[in-house]
Structure 1
């Protein structure tokens, strides 16, 4: 415990910025999901919550697609397909720079890879091992960076 505290003061321990993970609609299940993700992050166990991060993203992108006028996502629509539908809606409604558009499009393949992590390296199934702590932090940082950007873009859309 002593070394963990010292590490925090010395900046060695990286804390995941979870501000992009929030209850975006009044829903008890969603609120509990967000709370579970935050508990894992607060406990310094991001690798334990990757399956719930995947579930959160499934819900978030399904909601965003509908909010932006798209057809509701089906139960069998994969995460990357939901992200792709949202990317199209965002491009149609916002004048993004080429770089932002490219980052969002490249995130589709990132979310496709998240399916493999959820299925084979998380508590979603009886897997032999989890993603390493450092890699789990990297995954969270990458996913939450996009979620924070989306939150900003979404707020601007409805403020205009």
Structure 2
């Protein structure tokens, strides 16, 4: 389980850059791994600060993204993995934009919302933006993707 934040300001989305599975950089939402016993609310605030330099106030719960990756054991991948990602809305309350050093990301930047589709990004960015735009009352998008094989591109 991992919480992430959608921070939109002046028509721009705050993203962090992370090396993808093949080493190609890809844009991700700030957020990520919870420490044992940590509350997701505290995790997302800590992770945003670590990855971007900003402090945020959590202003809402946008939804939950559950995804399942089914791997092919013949290529050395996990047989089955399920991830649960909590998507919060966050408002910048302080700090200054900076890049994470020695962490899971190496760069942070604001991107125009219209430019996001052209970025190399993980699927969660699109899911989170849809939750932010549509704000389904149940916190779940109507069309959920089918599990994909981990050895597919």
| TM more than 0.5 | no
Q: Greater CA radius of gyration, 1 or 2? A: 1
TM-score bracket relative to the smaller structure: under 0.3
Higher relative contact order (CA 8 A, sep 6+): 2
Give the TM-score, by structure 1 length. 0.26
Structure whose residues are more often strand by fraction = 2
Query: When you count helix as a share of all residues, which structure comes out higher?
Result: 1
